[in-house]
Amino acid sequence: MQRKKRSGWLVGATVPIALTGLLLTGCSAGGDTADSSNTSTTASSTLRVNFGQFPENWSPGQEMEGGPLRIPYETLLARGADGSIQPWLATGWELTEESLTLTLRDDVTFQDGEPFDAEAVKVNVELVRDGSTAYSGPLQAVESVDVVDDYTVRLNLTGPTPSLPTTLTSRVLPIGSPAAIADGSIAQSPVGTSPWAYDEDASVIGTRMVFSNFADYWGEQPGFSAVELYAISEPEAQAAALVAGEIDVTDTEFEVFPRFENTSVETVEYPAIRNNLFFFDRGAGGAFESTDLRQAICSAIDVTQMAEITGEGDGATQHFAEGEVGYNADILGFPTDTALAAELHAAAGSPAVEVEMVAAPYNGRQISIYTEQVASALPGVKIAVTELPPPEYNSTWNSGRYPLGLSSNEEQTAFEWYRAWFAADAPGNPSGIESEQLAAAASAAIAAGDSEDAAALWAEVTKIISDEALTCAHYRAPELLAWNTDTVTGVAAPVEPWEPKSVNYRELTPAS
């Protein structure tokens, strides 16, 4: 079921304001910040933003929502308002089939006083590339990193990688302090180059993270000199705090829109979430070694029904949308067909399958709907669902500990998607299994670079991924942001595509 766009739509109802006092002790309506005496900025210049949960690990390469990540960190390249790739920490770049050479700014300092230079970029690239997260996948194309001089760094490539500049605008490579990386402190205390530096003394563990003004920031200071990050997860409590003026911006849900009626709250909706089911245990003797079995499960799932039940989002045949490289009009996906699912299960030898997968509070309902559909169509396939707290879920769902899993994957290019999940050595492919056909198709697409043939070759790669049922049940959903116009202006969908829980903080200014 497709939801209509609600950008700038005013909605609302009465809100139980008393809830907010339990959540934001020390806050009051009208722009005051909690414990503002502990920060280096005035209350009126502090942006209070809520995104449901704090990152478990702030180290570059770890999975973080776009909203929290872009408070302390910056990227080498950035997206312009028109979607074009623009200089940021790098002032220029030259891409060849063999390398990407970046010229860096020479006036940037990390928030801990460390210099930003080519050596710092090398440390970050190698950290993320050599890590075990999904974000390491796209950087597997970087064979080595050369420090040419203090402010020139060359990424030597394993082959043509025209998507790499796009990758460097995304969450794949936020640039963190080498010193904080070296001593491990960056995991809990992020240190980047942005206008907002993490203020541990002013923060309250588990309740509020304060990012104070970084006076030595290299660029123009933003409208808000400080940011306070909250982790209120319950939609009703989020709405109450927003209407009360205790937070300025939050992600939200359709179900609480009536709470905003006749208030100063506005909302915007934008496409942000793409998730799908992955079969991880595909190796010899694995639970999902059989292509027929994988196809049977995919044919049993009805994404449309799930979208109707949850009241948002819709199904898709594939990961990429029309117009994106990797989209293939010939991919039909797996239209729900329980009779076909039973036939495919029989063709696989009617295996009795009993496996476990995990869910988080934010996708538990979706996963339960899918597993119930599978159980109904394929009685021999039993999938037990265990719900975990978000931090534990985020670190284990695709680790190989569980034979299948579902979560968001926001890769913007076909190369990134393939390298993250389907290549034999992809971080999201713990089985290490890749068919000869897929490997050959991907090799041809990579070798094509940015030639006229590349798009068609990548479309063939995604077609093979679909035909082999390595993933299915593609779902797209919007992100919903709400803000109090009495306290903040400039809120809009982020320019970075497919980033959930994100806002362009630099565009925001106090309302008064």
Token couple for 401: 């500990």
* Dihedral over Cα of 432, 433, 439, 441: its sign: negative
Q: Across the strands, what pairs with 44? A: none
Answer with the one of 157, 181, 205 that is the final residue of a domain: 181
Domain shared by 123 and 31, yes or no: no
Q: What residues make up the domain containing 219?
A: 17-54+194-264+485-510
Q: Cα separations (Å) of 325 from 138, 177, 279, 414, 502?
A: 15, 34, 24, 6, 24
Backbone angles phi, psi at 250, to 5 degrees: -155, 155
pLDDT tens string 73-110: 999 999 998 989 999 999 999 999 999 999 999 999 99
Position 243 scores a pLDDT of: 97
Position 22 scores a pLDDT of: 31
Binning the chain into helix, strand and coil, the percentages to the nearest 5 are 30, 20, 50
Domain shared by 234 and 95, yes or no: no
Domain shared by 276 and 392, yes or no: yes
Measured distance CA(317)–CA(105) in Å, rounded: 42
List of residues 6+ apart from 301 with CB closer than 8 A: 277, 334, 336, 370, 373, 374, 472, 473
Domain shared by 232 and 289, yes or no: no
Helix (H) or strand (E) segment spanning residue 121: helix 118-129
Position 331 scores a pLDDT of: 98
**Is the residue at 362 inside a domain?**
yes
Domain shared by 41 and 119, yes or no: no
Position 309 scores a pLDDT of: 86
Position 394 scores a pLDDT of: 84
Nearest alpha carbon to residue 441 among 452, 427, 428, 456: 456
**Is the residue at 307 inside a domain?**
yes
**Is the residue at 158 inside a domain?**
yes
**Is the residue at 323 inside a domain?**
yes
Position 409 scores a pLDDT of: 86
Domain shared by 32 and 119, yes or no: no
Question: Residue 332 CB: number of other CB atoms within 10 A?
Answer: 12
Which ranges of 59-114 would DSSP assign to H, the alpha helix? 66-69
Position 417 scores a pLDDT of: 95
Position 53 scores a pLDDT of: 85
Q: Rounded to the nearest 5 degrees, what angle is found at the Cα of 450, between the Cα atoms of 434 and 119?
A: 80
Query: 83: domain CATH number?
Result: 3.90.76.10
125 close to 173: Cβ distance less than 8 angstroms: yes
Question: Residue 290 CB: number of other CB atoms within 10 A?
Answer: 20
Query: 213: domain CATH number?
Result: 3.40.190.10
**Is the residue at 364 inside a domain?**
yes
List of residues 6+ apart from 339 with CB closer than 8 A: none
Position 229 scores a pLDDT of: 97
Number of domains in the chain: 3
Answer with the one of 129, 146, 181 that is the final residue of a domain: 181
Q: Across the strands, what pairs with 31? A: none
**Is the residue at 63 inside a domain?**
no
HEC profile for 315-363?
EECCCCCCCCCCCCCCCCCCCCCHHHHHHHHHHCCCCCEEEEEEECCCC
Measured distance CA(269)–CA(166) in Å, rounded: 24
68 close to 51: Cβ distance less than 8 angstroms: yes
Question: Residue 14 CB: number of other CB atoms within 10 A?
Answer: 11
**Is the residue at 91 inside a domain?**
yes
**Is the residue at 188 inside a domain?**
no
Domain shared by 136 and 200, yes or no: no
3-state secondary structure of 511: coil
Answer with the one of 120, 152, 181 that is the final residue of a domain: 181
Strands 509-510 and 488-489: antiparallel
Helix (H) or strand (E) segment spanning residue 419: helix 414-421
Measured distance CA(315)–CA(2) in Å, rounded: 9
Helix (H) or strand (E) segment spanning residue 385: strand 381-387
Measured distance CA(293)–CA(351) in Å, rounded: 8
To the nearest 10°, the Cα dihedral for 405, 357, 394, 458? Answer: -10
Query: 469: domain CATH number?
Result: 3.10.105.10
Measured distance CA(79)–CA(52) in Å, rounded: 25
HEC profile for 276-308?
EEEECCCCCCCCCCCHHHHHHHHHHCCHHHHHH
Q: Cα separations (Å) of 427 from 136, 329, 433?
A: 7, 28, 12
Domain shared by 251 and 282, yes or no: no
Which residues of the chain are modeled with pLDDT < 70? 1-44
Position 5 scores a pLDDT of: 32
Domain shared by 313 and 461, yes or no: yes
Domain shared by 260 and 285, yes or no: no
Domain shared by 314 and 340, yes or no: yes
Domain shared by 461 and 500, yes or no: no
